[in-house]
Amino acid sequence: MVWQPGPTRPRRGRAVTTDERTAAAAPRRGRPQGHGPGFETRRDEVIDIATTLFAERGYSGTSVSDLTAATGMGKGALYRYIESKENLLVEISARVMTPLVERTREVCALEESPLVKLRLISEAILAGIAERPDYVWVYEHDYRYLTGTNRTRFLAQRSAFEQPLLELGREAVAQGLFRDTDVRLLMFQFFSLHKQVAQWFHRGGGWGPEELSREYCRTLFNGFAADSADLAAVERRAAELRP
Amino acid sequence: MVWQPGPTRPRRGRAVTTDERTAAAAPRRGRPQGHGPGFETRRDEVIDIATTLFAERGYSGTSVSDLTAATGMGKGALYRYIESKENLLVEISARVMTPLVERTREVCALEESPLVKLRLISEAILAGIAERPDYVWVYEHDYRYLTGTNRTRFLAQRSAFEQPLLELGREAVAQGLFRDTDVRLLMFQFFSLHKQVAQWFHRGGGWGPEELSREYCRTLFNGFAADSADLAAVERRAAELRP
């Protein structure tokens, strides 16, 4: 069987329903092979299965044989759906980032304070992680296996998400809401805190995205404001006790 | 060649000097094989090489053949140093955690405010990451490949590090320095912010551990204090704008 690569079409990520799974698991015999009505559904399911495997074993620890075994497909059929193993990473990244970039664009168009916008984006990040923890895990851990134009596109999409947030940070500094520090340093703290949550959900923190977002933003927004406590004394003592 | 497992001896992590590398790379011929003076040095070097490979390719993506190729050793000789591939992860984790657990114990014994103690531990975490970013990367990403008693010991060591920090959080809440929230939620934010730094160093933020620790603790300590800004209005607006 000759594998013909088709265009990569990142689709907005969403959960596969039980009905869809059932439908996909039992394709009608007699339908001509090709991009029939069930193709996208089945493709989503294959990507779902691959993501679970990557999250368990790592991208480089998962072989194409593992993928054929887990999907119950032959190699040829599998490649018709996934195009290539690396393309799975592209699809996984798109399912993580596309909704987030869209929501960020939507939020940034609002006439609201930068704090309200950051709060909404914070919740979108956490909701995305809660909905698809394995996707985010793979996205975070295995993006380094992307090569060539896949890597370039990945970095461009990550930048498309991060740049508007840096801009919001700048606005907040300009409005005196955040202290006047290098805004990259502030926003890196914003990113760091949110990214680590995939692990937290795994470890069973028991909080939902809405609650976590409220707490995180409370910490960050208060923390980024001018000092409310006398931390100079803490710094002096730490300097004396440094090894 | 029969491989005889010896006791695992986690040693306090430190960088291998150029002199040591040179010495290790050219073992004297004629020395009887065994745990001679160069053994530990050479072993450190092997673990260093393995860590670089794991950081690049992932633990599961690195084969024993990759390790023999990178170290220039035969399989038998390699195993004499590393005991097993999984044992490399044990050694890597020990080099990350042992100095950190020691420093935490040291700091917690001081008669200081919980803020000063947390500030010192924060800097120790960041200094450890700056010194050995690859070790921390592997530690964070590949610990899930530990099995059996290796895994149990890993979790115990992680707990030995985290529990005193939770205790410091509780003290800070009791003293009114931190707001009265579930202390796990506060300290998870402390951990999250610090852990993500391995990635930040890779991306060239350009800040040193001392400066980052000061900034992070400023954010966290101010952020964990009672509200200094009116965030209730932000919450109300976010609730109205939630999708």
B-chain CB neighbours of A115 within 8 Å are: 231, 234
Radius of gyration of chain B (CA): 22
**Chain A residues whose beta carbon lies within 8 Å of the beta carbon of residue B142:** 58
**A227's tokens:** 């000092």
Ordered by start, the domain boundaries in chain B are 18-86, 92-233
- DSSP secondary structure letters along B112-145: S-HHHHHHHHHHHHHHHHHH-HHHHHHHHHHGGG
Say whether pLDDT at B165 is over 50: yes
Whole-model pTM: value is 0.78
A-chain residue closest to B184, CA distance: A205
C-beta of residue A201 within 8 angstroms of C-beta of residue A130? yes
Element (DSSP H or E) covering residue B55: helix B39-57
What letter does residue B17 receive in the DSSP assignment? Answer: P
High-pLDDT (> 70) share of chain A, %: 81
Confidence band, pLDDT 50/70/90 cuts, at residue B31: very low
Distance from the Cα of B33 to chain A's closest Cα (Å) equals 34
Q: How many alpha carbons fall within 13 Å on the CB side of residue B141?
A: 32
Q: Give the Å distances, CA to CA, from A212 to A123, A125, A180, B235.
A: 8, 11, 26, 13
Spatial distance between the Cα atoms of A95 and A92, rounded to a whole number of angstroms = 5
Homologous superfamily, domain A18-86? Homeodomain-like (1.10.10.60)
Q: Are A75 and A68 in contact (CB under 8 A)?
A: yes
Contacts of B188 in chain A (CB under 8 A): 200, 205
Predicted complex ipTM:
0.74
Q: Chains A and B: how many Cβ contacts under 8 Å? A: 160
User: Residues 200 to 229 of B: which have CB under 8 A from any A CB?
Assistant: 200, 205, 207, 210, 214-229
Per the model's pLDDT, the better-predicted residue between B18 and A99 turns out to be A99
Per DSSP, helices labelled H in A58-84 are: 64-71, 75-82
DSSP H helices, chain A, are: 18-25, 39-57, 64-71, 75-82, 85-108, 114-131, 133-142, 148-174, 183-195, 197-202, 209-224, 232-241
Provide the CA B99 distance to its chain's centre, in angstroms. 9
Q: Hey, what are B2's tokens?
A: 């029969």
Domain B92-233 maps to which CATH number in 1.20.58.60, 3.30.499.10, 3.40.50.20, 1.10.357.10? Answer: 1.10.357.10
Please list every residue in chain B whose beta carbon sits closer than 8 Å to the beta carbon of residue A214.
235
| Least confident segment among A61-70, A84-93, A140-149 | A140-149
Looking at the predicted structure, is the pLDDT value of residue A36 above 80?
no
**Cβ neighbours, 10 Å, residue A30:** 5
Please determine, looking at this structure, whether the domain spanning A89-233 carries the CATH number 1.10.357.10.
Answer: yes
Q: What is the pLDDT of residue B229?
A: 55
Angle at CA of residue A106, ends A104 and A110, nearest 5°: 110
**Whole-angstrom distance, CA of residue B129 vs CA of residue B124:** 9
Alpha-carbon gap: B30 to the closest alpha carbon of chain A (Å): 40
What CA–CA distance (Å, rounded) separates B81 from A238?
Answer: 40
Disruptive mutation site among A59, A158, A166, A185 for chain B (greatest number of B CBs within 10 Å): A185
The amino acid occupying position B118 is: L
**CB contacts, 8 Å: B223 with chain A:** 218-224
Q: How confident is the model at residue A229 (pLDDT cuts 50, 70, 90)?
A: low
Mean pLDDT of chain B: 81
Q: Token pair of A32, please?
A: 């001509």
Any CB–CB contact under 8 A between A69 and chain B?
no
Measured CA to CA, the distance from residue B222 to residue B230 in angstroms comes to 14
B119 touching A (Cβ < 8 Å): yes
